[in-house]
Structure 1
């Protein structure tokens, strides 16, 4: 059993706790919030569990009853929060995007290596059964001709932007923007399926109200084919994601929470459903078994993902504060 604490008292944290505890391998034992009332209210949802309350990060980091921390704070705070926790020798599951820059991510992995603890970015969709089915099914296609990966979902907080507000996810100051919020799912999926691309090019829709990207089109170039990604928080799309090959096409209705994988045979003009749909289970296995080979694979994927998103952002002038200050 892995006793863990959390940083970030939002809906995604509740979702992770539910998934983690359902495995029978994780136990929520600590909650952090700057406000004691907020932490207590969050912990009250888990009756019958002994949960310690922390109002300082230092107190959480020094809690000897936990060995891991799940971090889902605002993007711009991920680095400092993870750094403190890792330095105390605790494992970290860090929500995507892990950090604002490649340099920050490299520093965190160096600390994790030195402390012999696990740092893993929470790309939940890459652990879904049907994502793994999709990857295993690529061989059915023969030579790959290309792919289209999409995640365009209208955010209600865009209404706030239009009303003159500056929600975190739509401001560069908090490490926000469509590419690192939704586009990162598609980038991670592409690298999971095909490896790191040779090059990338981003065509963003810049929001005049905040200067961040509200959506855009990203092209990843591979040897012999390209992957087109459409990601947005200011418009919606019902388009599926597809991988095209000489022998057929693999189709998933969404890039996360994949309900089915379908193979389209261009000669038969028919389709065949391959299968049916987990993350905390795998993280517990990695930590419990000390599977450093798996840790290394996920580290390389995280580094490859941020290399794409960071390079595309900088090319388009989408700089986070740490970059404007010239620190990394």
Structure 2
């Protein structure tokens, strides 16, 4: 039986989620929430869903809905997820899950008490080629000892035009828990943490936009014998590849999302080898979420507490690291105070 789910958020990322969810028959859209009833109806109708709500209380009270996908503004995640979990719904929470570690700890506590799953929707670490990369990094025979890594994700945001015009869009607003680190930078940070584990310490040199949030910056994650440099921004675009440096060679990856190329450059022979497998392409503006949705359905249906726990640990480390990086630079949200 397909898992019935509802959505909070009617933007393009939610459309990507629904389209990907319906491809394998393991999920079925049951209900849509929006503050405007007409908007909820119109959005749901595109996907054959006639159940629409403009009241969160009524939405979460729907007994035929088993799970909720939340893609609302960052600052709303905690309260909405808490309400969903207490209604005994599985929660698939778009990144960043919460503004602080304390909020995330509370959500995982509630999920366990209610016997449901809370999973942060990091699509990129579920991609087949990312999982191949994990195996390569852990294979001493291929790469050898890790010497360091450099990851980049920088994409100019159309909303930055609004900032330059003197406006304060949600994603550049402290009150909405915005900024490049939690919107863009969180991808390479998670990319690194799921590969190498929790860093010993971390430092951040951000560019502070006129709205008070970070528009981008340079992060260093400090590990036992190496460092990971992360360059991210919503104020400019970069096409720089990502690299992992090892004793026996270098792995060059096309990016920290939508991994379609993994090349191994052999230090001794100077030869190059493409290792990536097939990559799922999706018509823009949508993105590939199939692999994460297949895995999340498996976790829910098989009640795979171990797999959910591994993802939980990644989420806990990521929010701890990003919260520390923000606070180092005085980038404080209402939830921090």
1:157–1:167 CA contact under 8 A, matched in 2: yes
How far apart, CA to CA, are the structure 2 residues paired with 1:322 and 1:169? 16
Q: Note the 1:135-284 alignment, pairs <5 A.
A: 135-138=134-137, 139=139, 140-207=142-209, 209-276=210-277, 277=279, 278-284=291-297
The ranges of structure 1 where at least 4 consecutive aligned residues each deviate by more than 3 angstroms after the TM superposition are none
How far apart, CA to CA, are the structure 1 residues paired with 2:222 and 2:255? 22
Which stretch of the first structure deviates more once superposed, 56-65 or 268-277?
268-277
**Structure 1 residues 274-302: Cα deviation after superposition (integer angstroms, max 9, x where no partner):** 12231100000000000001111111110
Counterpart of 2:299 in structure 1 is 286
2:249–2:266 CA contact under 8 A, matched in 1: yes
1:133–1:261 CA contact under 8 A, matched in 2: no
How far apart, CA to CA, are the structure 1 residues paired with 2:110 and 2:276? 39
1:28–1:51 CA contact under 8 A, matched in 2: no
How far apart, CA to CA, are the structure 1 residues paired with 2:102 and 2:16? 29
Which stretch of the first structure deviates more once superposed, 165-174 or 74-83?
165-174
Counterpart of 1:95 in structure 2 is 94
**Structure 1 residues 124-164: Cα deviation after superposition (integer angstroms, max 9, x where no partner):** 00000110111111121100000001101111111110001
Q: How many residues align?
A: 321
Any unmatched runs of 5+ in structure 1? none
Deviation at 1:51, TM superposition (A): 3.4
Counterpart of 1:114 in structure 2 is 113
SS at match of 1:94: strand
SS at match of 1:141: coil
How far apart, CA to CA, are the structure 1 residues paired with 2:11 and 2:161? 20
Deviation at 1:273, TM superposition (A): 0.8
Any unmatched runs of 5+ in structure 2? 280-290
Q: Note the 1:52-91 alignment, pairs <5 A.
A: 52-91=51-90
Deviation at 1:23, TM superposition (A): 1.8
1:151–1:237 CA contact under 8 A, matched in 2: yes
TM normalised by structure 1 equals: 0.97
Asked if residue 28 in structure 1 is aligned to residue 49 in structure 2, the reply is no
**Structure 1 residues 210-262: Cα deviation after superposition (integer angstroms, max 9, x where no partner):** 01100000000001000000010001111011110000011111110111211
SS at match of 1:254: coil
RMSD value, Cα = 0.8
2:41–2:51 CA contact under 8 A, matched in 1: no
Deviation at 1:271, TM superposition (A): 1.0
SS at match of 2:275: strand
How far apart, CA to CA, are the structure 1 residues paired with 2:39 and 2:265? 50
Deviation at 1:42, TM superposition (A): 0.4
How far apart, CA to CA, are the structure 1 residues paired with 2:35 and 2:155? 31
How far apart, CA to CA, are the structure 1 residues paired with 2:309 and 2:50? 32
How far apart, CA to CA, are the structure 2 residues paired with 1:147 and 1:51? 48
Counterpart of 1:307 in structure 2 is 320
How far apart, CA to CA, are the structure 1 residues paired with 2:148 and 2:21? 35
